[in-house]
Structure 1
């Protein structure tokens, strides 16, 4: 969000008209930027690398042995019925058993989607203990979980699986952005170009409400094993997968289908040899929590942002409890922020650099900020190659396991929900035949995963650096100029386009490439015309003076 605010602020200083001289300068800069962008957008052998397949012992957790015992009994029943030729699934084509690794929002949403299709014997493996219920008072604690926005992409799936009412109950809308800038200047922007109003909710609370949906409606079809970590995946002799989990005694589950929804460091992806491209960090940011408490006369349906030219920004989003969960984003090498280890040093820093927000910070938060840990943001990565396997048993990946982006523009969980939606359509079209549905899912989703990461990575630039200006700021300025002058010919900037859930990520990338070519061609024509006019004028002047 910080990068988007900085870019939008630049539009405010843009002159209403451009001289021909400025056009000539910009075209030279744009040509340089276009060449650099094509190089930067494609990972090469030098800057992309494959994830390894080793699994560290530190990922192991103790599991609920009683539940795992029941799962083993269920697996034995499945094997027995399978040997007798019986089908335990809800309909022909559906696998007799499914294991979903990862009990986050994407994993739970996948389980609900499958259960609604009539699938049975669905087991979700979650490495953490159970979360508080979504109506718990503990969600008012700003350190409990970070906020995220569920936009139109995410809401579409939640409507499909009939969880949208729970989202509305435990989230709040954000309809605009309020910005404090240098010199106590303020700006209010109400979002009018978005297909849906984003709903703000804590990430873990979202997982909790989906788990509540499972326990309320699908207890016979879905079981969740908490405190359970997958430690190994291997082919069984009968064509199924053997899923080993960590317990006081080694425990395993036989299954016919595995879903890897276990995040950016996916065990399923790495353990089964799927490859992923990871990009090196070029604009590292870290953050610490700083809550705000707004008075009742201030709007609670806004994203509040305070930014500084040195790259430090405070971004606060609302919660249903009435407080704002704010994060202070800064560079890890910023020693001023890193050295804030007392309440007084934090108070002094905030008053000097974020004076406008001082009235909204409760006194005890200065000391708490000094004690809070510094958190890192994920690195960009995407799955390279197929997102599935069908032999010896079907496996599919989704969510951060296939596309991991930084949370600046709210596409992480929303694109994960879109993965689940696409998988649902593929299953519907193929009659739940996984050997047909999973290749179709890869065909439709792999290009989108790559495009999402490449687009998001193109925004992750330091606008103060020459490369950041050429590759990030200048294209945004040009998009604003050309879209305002010729809105039917040129689209708005890609950041705004990504908020339109009717557009695909590959479509956005293709459209902006065409826009760049059109911008270059149009400016080249203008410069050529100006050059010819100047040449003709000089010739005329020389003729008249001769």
Structure 2
């Protein structure tokens, strides 16, 4: 069960001693900006965030996907006082509703309610980043500095008066002279290729910063985003249009492995911006071999005869899509080590201890199968806030406790992602149908038999259940279902034997 409690967001932060100053956060994505805001609310000062993007509103086409911020992630937005703003720019997801459109034009809408503890919200990744950045600009600019167009290139340990300190070397395209920082607290929010984590792995020889990878059927899938109008026509006569606040799964007509394709669209609130349609499939799919926009349009026209694609996909967008590198779903992975403390002589009471911490994708990364990428990162930050509160922001006590409490959840989360819903992308239609049927059967059994847990999608959004508890429940249910299957098989075999005897 969760250890979390509600915190008064209007409470004044304590006065900042020397130990609560000089923080460097590598990575200005959701985890990095959220961490900066949390520390600022706690009274920390001199917080610097390094971000590779050129500006806060720098558009990244290959990252124009949606987030679903659920109750787990909203623990932190509640703390920061941002959930009301989140509800204004997001589409509530009190129930899952998707319209499937077949190649012949037939449509079917499926609805599934979730017993979420509070509404979750769909919104663009860019919109969420802007929400966090504007909160910094409007209320915390005196404590937080975000430096764009910066790249961390080295992290060193230096000696000052017999005491080890951190030195971080940073480069910028605008200057040939590297910047150097000496933070008290260095936080790695720099993603799957984290230089912070790789540096810790060279410093610490215990192996806890080695990444453990777990195979998954969805890892290695490639994706690209095709930008469509928010309310594009669903037929040649334009009698029906897509609704921007609804989800769509548009099936292609091809069945061959290297040609089969689906278009997936998630809800958006802003009807004045392009709507990304995600195309996800195997790395050797024919779509990824197309070099020009005209080739892309010809292929998509053949794959999706139910849509008048040339009516709403501009040649410039097709060209951009063809030139885009897209992205690849990572292998589910994590490291058990989340913190590192530099030794501090016990006699030096005037010297603050320096520490390093890993959050978000730098510590755990996986495909978006159960929608917990951003939510787990926000929960990382919330757990850190709770631990800092319990130990009066003392890094020497807080960071080891954070690792001890969070590391089991990190492993449980990644193991859940490995098996929960890897076939949902229709990359193998038969496996997708079997996975869907299995989920429906298990959901029905969970309603009849209380000792069987429902599919992970129905419980993972509730923060009262830790990821580790959910993983243990998943293992228990798998053993029960396996035993029931064997009992059923043996019983059926016995019936066959009796019939043969008679």
Give TM-score, length-normalised by structure 1: 0.73
Given the superposition, is the C-alpha separation of residues 531 and 325 from structure 1 closer, same or farther in structure 2, using an over 3 Å criterion?
A: closer
Unaligned runs of 5+ residues in structure 2 are 1-13, 202-208, 233-239, 344-353
Unaligned runs of 5+ residues in structure 1 are 1-88, 133-137, 542-546
1:177 is matched with 98
Structure 1 segment 432-511 matched on structure 2, within 5 A: 432-458=393-419, 459-461=421-423, 476=439, 478-480=441-443, 482-483=445-446, 486-511=448-473
Q: Distance in 2 between matches of 1:356 and 1:516?
A: 40
Shift of 1:118: 1.0
- Establish whether residue 307 from structure 1 lines up as the match of residue 251 from structure 2: yes
Q: Distance in 2 between matches of 1:469 and 1:200?
A: 24
Partners of 2:90 and 2:269 within 8 A in 1: yes
1:147 to 66, 72, 96: 66
1:326 is matched with 277
Shift of 1:152: 2.1
Q: Distance in 2 between matches of 1:227 and 1:371?
A: 26
Higher alpha-carbon deviation: 521-530 or 473-482:
473-482
SS at match of 1:488: coil
Higher strand share: 2
The structure number with the bigger radius of gyration is: 1
SS at match of 2:150: coil
1:45 is matched with none
Shift of 1:158: 0.8
SS at match of 2:55: coil
Shift of 1:390: 1.6
2:180 to 252, 273, 276: 252
Q: Distance in 2 between matches of 1:282 and 1:143?
A: 22
1:349 to 299, 303, 309: 299
Q: Distance in 2 between matches of 1:202 and 1:231?
A: 30
Given the superposition, is the C-alpha separation of residues 432 and 324 from structure 1 closer, same or farther in structure 2, using an over 3 Å criterion?
A: same
Partners of 2:222 and 2:329 within 8 A in 1: no
2:336 to 379, 385, 399: 385
Given the superposition, is the C-alpha separation of residues 524 and 285 from structure 1 closer, same or farther in structure 2, using an over 3 Å criterion?
A: closer
- Establish whether residue 213 from structure 1 lines up as the match of residue 213 from structure 2: no
Q: Distance in 2 between matches of 1:342 and 1:245?
A: 38
Q: Distance in 2 between matches of 1:466 and 1:188?
A: 19
Shift of 1:92: 5.2
Shift of 1:375: 0.6
Aligned CA RMSD, in angstroms, stands at 3.2
1:288 to 224, 227, 242: 224
- Establish whether residue 109 from structure 1 lines up as the match of residue 45 from structure 2: no
Shift of 1:349: 3.0
Shift of 1:477: 5.9
1:125 is matched with 50
- Establish whether residue 520 from structure 1 lines up as the match of residue 482 from structure 2: yes
Given the superposition, is the C-alpha separation of residues 191 and 328 from structure 1 closer, same or farther in structure 2, using an over 3 Å criterion?
A: same
2:346 is matched with none
Shift of 1:129: 1.9
SS at match of 1:250: strand
Structure 1 segment 68-83 matched on structure 2, within 5 A: none
Given the superposition, is the C-alpha separation of residues 378 and 520 from structure 1 closer, same or farther in structure 2, using an over 3 Å criterion?
A: closer
1:364 to 314, 338, 363: 314
SS at match of 1:121: strand
Given the superposition, is the C-alpha separation of residues 511 and 185 from structure 1 closer, same or farther in structure 2, using an over 3 Å criterion?
A: farther
Given the superposition, is the C-alpha separation of residues 331 and 340 from structure 1 closer, same or farther in structure 2, using an over 3 Å criterion?
A: farther
Given the superposition, is the C-alpha separation of residues 469 and 149 from structure 1 closer, same or farther in structure 2, using an over 3 Å criterion?
A: closer
Q: Distance in 2 between matches of 1:230 and 1:476?
A: 44
Shift of 1:412: 0.9
Given the superposition, is the C-alpha separation of residues 143 and 508 from structure 1 closer, same or farther in structure 2, using an over 3 Å criterion?
A: closer
The list of structure 1 runs, each at least 4 consecutive aligned residues, that deviate by more than 6 angstroms after superposition, is 141-144, 462-467
Q: Distance in 1 between matches of 2:432 and 2:25?
A: 43
Q: Deviations over 1:228-248 (max 9, x none)?
A: 222221223233311222242
SS at match of 2:211: strand
SS at match of 1:356: coil
1:84 is matched with none
2:289 to 338, 360, 370: 338
Q: Distance in 2 between matches of 1:407 and 1:532?
A: 44
Shift of 1:317: 2.4
Given the superposition, is the C-alpha separation of residues 502 and 226 from structure 1 closer, same or farther in structure 2, using an over 3 Å criterion?
A: same
2:366 to 405, 409, 432: 405
Given the superposition, is the C-alpha separation of residues 94 and 191 from structure 1 closer, same or farther in structure 2, using an over 3 Å criterion?
A: farther
Q: Distance in 2 between matches of 1:289 and 1:221?
A: 36
Q: Distance in 2 between matches of 1:460 and 1:157?
A: 28
Given the superposition, is the C-alpha separation of residues 509 and 475 from structure 1 closer, same or farther in structure 2, using an over 3 Å criterion?
A: farther
Q: Deviations over 1:223-271 (max 9, x none)?
A: 1222222222122323331122224223311111111111111111112
Higher alpha-carbon deviation: 302-311 or 510-519:
302-311
